[in-house]
Structure 1
Amino acid sequence: MLKLTCCLSLPHSESFTADHKPLMGEAPEVRGFFLGCGFNSAGMMLGGGCGRELAHWIIHGRPEKDMYGYDIRRFHNSLTGNNQWIRERSHESYAKNYSVVFPFDEPLASRNMRKDPFHQVLTEQGCVYQERHGWERPGWFSKDGPAPVLSYDYYGAYDGPKNTDDKYRALLGKEYTFDFPSHHHVLKDECMTCRQGVAVFNMSYFGKFYLSGPDAKQAADWLFTADVNKKPGDTYYLAIGGGVAEHNWNHIRTVLQDQGFTCTLVDHSEDMGMLSIQGPKSREVLQEVLDTDLSNQAFPFSTHKVVNAAGHQVRAMRLSFVGELGWELHIPRDSCLPVYNAVMAAGAKHGIINSGYRAIDSLSIEKGYRHWHADLRPDDTPLEAGLAFTCKMKSSIPFLGRDRLELQKKEGLKRRIVCFTIDEKIPLFGLEAVYRNGVPVGHIRRSDYGFFVDKTIAYGYIRNPDGANPDFVRSGDFTLERMGVTYQAKAHLKSPFDPENKRVKGIYD
């Protein structure tokens, strides 16, 4: 006879996590200690599937499905020991448990925990911030003056004082829509200025790690799919998106330990700022600031140099995540504001502007650049994501996951990512169904409006058991379903914007 024992918890004894999601996976502090807790009164609903994935995690080192949203490594270590952050964010998560989830909502609780050197000057210029991994990063820039994030007022509960003149909360309220937001035209201005002139993006929330030691070359070969081509003993500088910095930090340290590499990984995320200056006029602006030749011959795409900027030493990288000519400047913390002021002064005659991550989202999807945990998840492969060029498959160098990629390449792809455009000016947000000839074949992962091509752009994975090859894409008639309405979509195997990659090379016709 099967006997079931149930335990009922009173409301005051229930536990709720800071984002109302479970805590799962290997503890960052203790190898071999796994967590499966914090189910926020949803244990009966989530226990079966989470238990199965956790068992696979323990046995094989990773779950079968994408469990990133539940992975304990989604929280930065500076936050998990901060009682204010835990108390405020847990309260707000509980208070909003049954609220409608709008696409661009931001928390009001536990803000201003991690601020970069540009925070105050950008606030004064109307920056509307987003919170990621505890960092305040620029979302977009309001034309109506500063909208600082105020201290959490618990929504005016518990007889405490309620915030007044909360411009930030008022702006968020205008985002509570499934249509384009009221400041859609502001995002367009930021994007088009980058495409036609020059814009500055503060990307300081990135994780910045140094990997060094006798086995650094061997470790880099194993960790990274690309051919790093460095001499043994060299130091590697890793710049990683801030939202996944803690996850990457722990993953790298785990691999170093498991493989026995003699290496040191040092975190300098708080010690450095990062500016990205992008657009057709970026070279003209930076040539006045940097003491080096920025021509295509002297400073090719995907190279870097340590140079002086307004008398301060910085690392300049010719890279772009928006599809334009541009450079990233990685700057010691004390030098951030002088370098920023020099860039803005040199760019004034070129119409330089500050721009935020809402513009980056639009510009990057227009170019077809992948976003982690949207276009790319732990259960996707580089081949499926159209990133085979980042893998050193033509070499004989072993790397983590190479055997799986070789097998997948031999068997052929059953799923692949595809770009879709819709002529109607309607917003998509992800999870919309994808139909090919009236048959569902996948769903959208990420979408945004492309202001330069003037279309809604969406990326999603499509499946075909007989092979998701290019002909399967070309021969299909595709539609996307949004809120019960289907829209005709055009499928693209290449980005509809600058498919020949001329602009990142500084070639503007």
Structure 2
Amino acid sequence: MDGGSTIKQRGGLQTSSFTADHKPLMGEAPEVRGFFLGCGFNSAGMMLGGGCGRELAHWIIHGRPEKDMYGYDIRRFHHSLTDNNRWMRERSHESYAKNYSVVFPHDEPLAGRNMRKDPLHEELLQQGCVFQERHGWERPGWFSPGGAAPVLDYDYYGAYGHERHRDYNYNRLLGDEYTFDFPPHHDIIKKECLTCRNALALFDMSYFGKFYLVGPEATKAADWLFSADVSKAPGDGYYLAIGGAVAQHNWSHITTVLQDMKFQCKLLDCSEELGMMSIQGPLSRAVLQEVLDTDLSNEAFPFSTHKITTAAGCQVRAMRLSFVGEMGWELHVPRADCVKVYRAVMQAGARHGIANAGYRAIDSLSIEKGYRHWHADLRPDDTPLEAGLAFTCKLKSSIPFLGREAVEAQKAKGIFRRLVCFTTEQKVPMFGLEAVWRDGQVVGHIRRADFGFAIDKTIAYGYIRDPAGGPVSLDFVKSGSYELERMGVTFPARAHTKSPFDPDNKRVKGFY
């Protein structure tokens, strides 16, 4: 492990041991099985070395670390980025330049941008889209009424002879967010959320990973890989849509399992070949019925089903799913047809009040409905039972799956920590890591928080334990008196055992 860092100037640019996100590189290399990394500690080796060394040893022996090491896992970077010298040079410079900067909740990098653009990028940019960077992709964050805010080439903050950008609108908008209060465009995100709740919104989710699991033993592999029962319609192929920020991690994990289990099937990556639009809201059916060449009624197209159909004369895969808690459909579209389909949907939705919305709105809408986010609500050291996701595990069947024994053992022993939803009446921003107090004792901390505009409350999710060491039952959750501590100030909070928004799950099923 390296503990130091050197900065040297070579040919007008710098080289250093700083990694692209100022975190170490650890774990098994995606390209070479059995080759593990423990490097890139960026002047923090003395601080991190002991714990990271212990976890790396466990990783090598058991195939995974004991603790959550996802933030240090080499698989957090997409291979197209680690193969790109410009991206590595720019991002490692910025991580060095911002080494001692305050980390604000919604900051974005200026370096290594525009590496991966989806087919709607230019269309949305002209409509005021303020982009976020995830896994190299430029994905919609929110939409500014002030016009286009393009991300410009990296200027190295004026170092090495580069001239700093002047009147850089995107950088100015980021600077406006350097606060631990609500951002100045809080009401803009509110409008995106409430448009989705009351009419409909279109979310460009094209940055998702799109994989096909195919081959003679694809069903056998899917049964083993996925905790849910996917054997109801066995075939020789499965289509996987995976959150874009974790696509490389998922790819590496699945291919490793396929190799270890010697399944006769393979994983195909079609992420760049397909776009993905999600149209959500109570008016989504009325609008999409004008665009899609298929019956969208509850009887003909129930929730959690999909069909191959046509939209604006283009073949698309339509899925009735939601990550915001509304009736809606995802359209998975060949790259060349995305703009045509997008324009057709927006034209049909114009008289119904359709609007573009970004991932800041998705974050708010999804926490309001209680949908879990990877590496916030769910980490590698959490279990489905602790996260309230037992329904995703096919424990009533006899089908074996990866991790089944661990889930069954925990179920028999009892759940000693549990993910709980909290709301506060005071409209204060929270971001995660706030302490959770129960009856005067700290019992956990918040993993993820946001503001829910439909219920007009701050919402936070965190895992809690019983200080006495006993199981955390639903009665234990309900019986406590709670407070959330933000920056040394505590706020009374209410614990929920169901989602505070649409707890009966009617809206996703089309019942308004």
Fold shared, TM-score > 0.5 on shorter chain: yes
2:282 to 265, 280, 283: 280
Q: Which deviations, in whole Å up to 9, do the C-alpha atoms of 1:396-418 show, x marking residues without a partner?
A: 00000000000100011000000
Q: Which residue of 2 aligns with 1:110?
A: 112
Residue aligned with 2:348, SS: helix
SS at match of 1:40: coil
Structure 1 residues 27 and 290, CA gap change in structure 2 (3 angstroms): same
What amino acid does structure 2 have at the position aligned with 1:469? S
Q: Distance in 1 between matches of 2:372 and 2:209?
A: 18
Instruction: Give, in whole Å, the separation in 2 of the partners of 1:230 and 1:487.
Output: 47
How far has the Cα of 1:64 moved from its partner?
0.3
Give the conservation status (yes or no) of the 8 Å contact 1:277–1:326.
Answer: yes
Letter matched to residue 386 of structure 1 = G
Q: 1:474 aligns with which of 478, 493, 509?
A: 478
2:407 is matched with which residue? 405
CA distance in 1, matches of 2:234, 2:305: 19
Per-residue deviation, 1:189: 0.2
Over 3 Å counting, the alpha-carbon distance change for 1:10 and 1:206 in structure 2 is: closer
Matches within 5 A, 1:117-156: 117-156=119-158
- Output aligned runs, 1:449-468, within 5 Å: 449-464=451-466, 465-468=469-472
Cα RMSD of the aligned pairs, angstroms, is: 1.1
Check if 1:489 corresponds to 2:476: no
Match for 1:20: what amino acid? H
Unpaired runs of 5+ residues, structure 1, are 1-5
Aligned-partner Cα distance in 1 for 2:20–2:430: 28
Contact preservation (8 Å) 2:3, 2:44:
no
AA of the residue aligned to 1:339: V
Q: Would you say the 8 A contact 1:217–1:230 is kept in 2? A: no
Contact 2:449/2:459 (<8 A) preserved: yes
> Is the 2:4–2:43 contact (alpha carbons within 8 Å) kept by the matching residues of 1?
no
Partners of 1:230 and 1:260 lie apart in 2 by 23
Alignment check: 8 A CA contact 2:279 2:330 kept: yes
State, as a whole percentage, how many aligned pairs show the same letter: 75
Amino acid at match of 2:454: F
Q: Which amino acid counterpart does residue 476 of structure 2 have in structure 1?
A: F
Alpha-carbon distance between aligned partners in 2 of 1:412 and 1:20, rounded to the nearest angstrom: 38
Structure 1 counterpart SS, 2:437: strand
* Distance change in 2, residues 1:119/1:406 (3 Å): same
**2:505 maps to what in 1?**
501
CA distance in 2, matches of 1:455, 1:7: 44
Q: After superposition, what is the alpha-carbon deviation per residue over 1:25-66, rounded to whole angstroms, capped at 9, x for unaligned? A: 000000000000111111111110000000000000000000
Aligned length: 503
Number of the residue aligned with 2:314:
312
TM-score by length of 1: 0.98
Which amino acid counterpart does residue 48 of structure 2 have in structure 1?
Answer: L
Contact 1:127 1:146 (C-alpha < 8 Å) held by counterparts: yes
* Change in CA separation of 1:27 and 1:9 when aligned onto 2, cut-off 3 Å: closer
Q: CA offset at residue 291 of structure 1? A: 0.4
Q: TM-score, normalised by structure 2?
A: 0.97
Distance 2:65 2:199 in 1: 45
- Partner residue in 2 for 1:332: 334
Conservation of the 8 A alpha-carbon contact between 1:433 and 1:443: yes
Q: How big is each residue's C-alpha offset from its partner over 1:237-287, in whole Å with a ceiling of 9 and x where there is no partner?
A: 000000000000000000000001000100000000000000000000000
Q: Is the 8 A contact 1:213 1:233 kept in 2?
A: no
Partner amino acid for 1:335? D
Q: CA deviation at 1:10?
A: 5.0
Q: Counterparts of 1:261-410 in structure 2 under 5 Å?
A: 261-410=263-412
Please list, as runs of the form range in 1=range in 2, the aligned pairs for 1:200-279 lying within 5 A after superposition: 200-230=202-232, 232-279=234-281
| Deviation of the 1:319 alpha carbon | 0.1
Deviation per CA, 1:346-397, whole angstroms, max 9, x where unpaired?
A: 0000010000000000000000000000000000001100001111010000
What is the letter of the counterpart of residue 359 of structure 1? A
Amino acid at match of 2:143: F
What is the CA–CA distance in structure 1 between the aligned matches of 2:166 and 2:116, rounded to whole Å? 24
2:93 counterpart residue number: 91
Distance 1:44 1:116 in 2: 41
Residue equivalent to 1:3: none
Matched, 1:60 2:54: no
Q: Secondary structure at the match of 1:270?
A: coil
Give distance in 2, aligned partners of 1:205 and 1:276: 12
The answer on whether the counterparts of 2:78 and 2:248 sit within 8 Å (CA) in structure 1 is yes
Partners of 2:3 and 2:43 within 8 A in 1: no
Residues 74 and 244 of structure 1 are in contact (CA less than 8 Å); yes or no, is this contact kept in structure 2? yes
> Which of 18, 41, 44 lines up with 1:42 in the alignment?
44
CA distance in 1, matches of 2:3, 2:324: 52
Q: CA deviation at 1:7?
A: 9.0
Q: Which residue of 1 aligns with 2:11?
A: none
Check 1:319–1:31 CA distance in 2 against 1; reply closer, same or farther (3 A cut).
same
Matches of 2:236 and 2:242, distance apart in 1 = 19
Q: d(CA) in 2 for partners of 1:410 and 1:361?
A: 34
CA–CA distance in 1 between the matches of 2:93 and 2:170?
19
